[in-house]
Amino acid sequence: MTTSLTTEAAGTQSRTAASTTGQRTEAEFARAEAHTAHNYHPLPVVVAHAEGAWMTDVDGRRHLDLLSGYSALNFGHSHPRLLRAAHEQLDSLTLTSRAFVHDRFADFTAALAALCGKELVLPMNTGAEAVETAIKVARKWGYEAKGVPADRAEIIVMSGNFHGRTTTIVGFSDDPDARDGFGPFTPGFVPVPYGDEAALAAAFGPHTVAVLAEPIQGEGGVVIPPAGYLRAVRRLCTEHGALFLADEIQAGLGRTGRTFACDHEDVVPDVYILGKALGGGIVPVSAVVADRDVLGVLRPGQHGSTFGGNPLACAVGQAVVEMLATGDLQRRALELGTAMRERLEAMVGSGALAVRTRGLWAGIDVDPAVGTGRDVCEALLARGVLAKDTHGSTIRLAPPLVIDPEDLSWGLDQLAAVIS
C-alpha cells in the first residue's frame, strides 16, 4: 500500500492538475481515440501506474481512485498478495483449456464453494458470461426439474437492471443506450419494477423458472431496495418453485461490508453470480455458484469457456477467496463506509440532493444547479480524484477496501468543494 498524500501535498497536486492539461496525456488520449470504437466515454486521463488506492498518469500526476474498476479493484491496485499469487502461477502454467484438469482448479472451486456455502462452482471469465450462464442454467433447470414445457421458460427481471451488454441481456434492459439498435431480442423475460413486492408477486406464473436481481443496483446509481425486499424475493421464489439468481458481480465480495449484499437481509439465493473483484484486479474471473441440484443439470458439451477456470485465474481467485474468508476486509468496508456515509449525508442540501450508501459504496444525486454528473467527475479529476457518473446527474463512489482513512477523507473533501 502506498504512503498517503498529506492533505496539503494532495491539495498542491490538485491545483497543479487543475491548471495544466499534460502534453503526454493529450497525445496518448488522441492516439487511443484514433483507433478505438467509441463504446466508452472515458475521462481525459491516461493511467500509467497504480498502487493501492492511487493511480499515476503518463504526466506523473497522481489521482485517488474512488471507482475501483466498478468493484473489480476492491483490494486496490497491485495488492502484494494477489501479485505474488499471479507471479508464481505465471512461472508454471497459465492455460490448459477445460479439455484437461489442472492442479489449481480443485482448490479454487472448493474454496469458492465454501465461501458461498454451496456445492458446485462453474468458473467463467466476465460478469456478462456469468449472467448468461445463470440464465442457461435456470432455463435448463426449469425444463428438467420443474417440468416447464419446452421453450416456455420465463425469468422475472428488474427495471433499472444492469447485468452486462450481450444481446440477450440488453434485450431486457430499459436503458435506451444499452438496448436501442440491437434487436431483435431474446424472449422469455418478464420485467417488474425494482423493489416493488406486489408487482413481483403478480409476475409469477406457471412457467416462471427464476428471478434475476441485483441485491443493489450499482450501475443504476447504487440503488438499494426497500428493507425486506430481498427476503420477499427469497420467499416468493420458494413458494412458486423458482430459483433466485443474485447478481452480486458489483455488490459482492466485501463491497457492502458483508461478503455478499444478500447477507444484509440474511438471504441465501439459489445461485450466486460473481465476477469483478473475484479476479483481484489482475485477470477477468467470474463464476456461477449453486448447489448440485441446480448446476448439476449441465452435462458435457452443453456449456463451456476456453479460458474459464484457467490456472492463472484460479490462482488469483483462490487468493481473493482466502483474503475474504478472514472477514477483515468486510469489517474494514463497514467501518470506512460508516465514516463515508456521515460525510456524504452532510452534503445533502449543499450540492447533493440525495445519497445512498451501503458499506464502502455510494451513489450521490447531484443538484442540477451544480452541473451534470460528468461535470462533477471532470472537476474531481482536476483535483486529483477519479469517480464515475451514471444516468446524467448521479455519481458513484466505490473506493478500494484498502484505502487509507486519511485518503478517503481527503477525497471527500474534494467532492464537497466541487459541489458546494
Model confidence over 145-166: pLDDT tens digits? Answer: 999 999 999 999 999 999 999 9
Look at residue 40 and tell me if it is in a domain.
no
Q: Which of 189, 276, 365, 404 is catalytic?
A: 276
Report in angstroms the alpha-carbon separations of 87 from 83, 109, 324: 6, 20, 20
Q: What percent of the chain has pLDDT over 90?
A: 91
Look at residue 315 and tell me if it is in a domain.
yes
Q: What is the pTM of this model?
A: 0.94
- pLDDT, residue 202, reads 98
Look at residue 368 and tell me if it is in a domain.
no
CATH of residue 138: 3.40.640.10
Q: In the chain, how many domains are there?
A: 1
Is the Cβ–Cβ distance between 317 and 89 less than 8 Å? no
Look at residue 268 and tell me if it is in a domain.
yes
- pLDDT, residue 22, reads 82
Q: If residue 47 lies in a helix (H) or strand (E), which one and from where to where?
A: strand 47-51
Q: Which of 162, 204, 244, 260 is catalytic?
A: 162
- pLDDT, residue 39, reads 87
Look at residue 68 and tell me if it is in a domain.
no
Active site residue 136: no
> What is the amino acid identity at position 364?
I
Look at residue 26 and tell me if it is in a domain.
no
Active site residue 100: no
Q: Which of 57, 59, 65, 247 is catalytic?
A: 247
Q: Which of 383, 350, 408 is nearest to 61 (CA)?
A: 383
- pLDDT, residue 29, reads 86
Look at residue 115 and tell me if it is in a domain.
yes
Residues of the chain under the 70 pLDDT cut: 1-21
Domain membership of residue 128 as a residue range: 80-326
Look at residue 54 and tell me if it is in a domain.
no
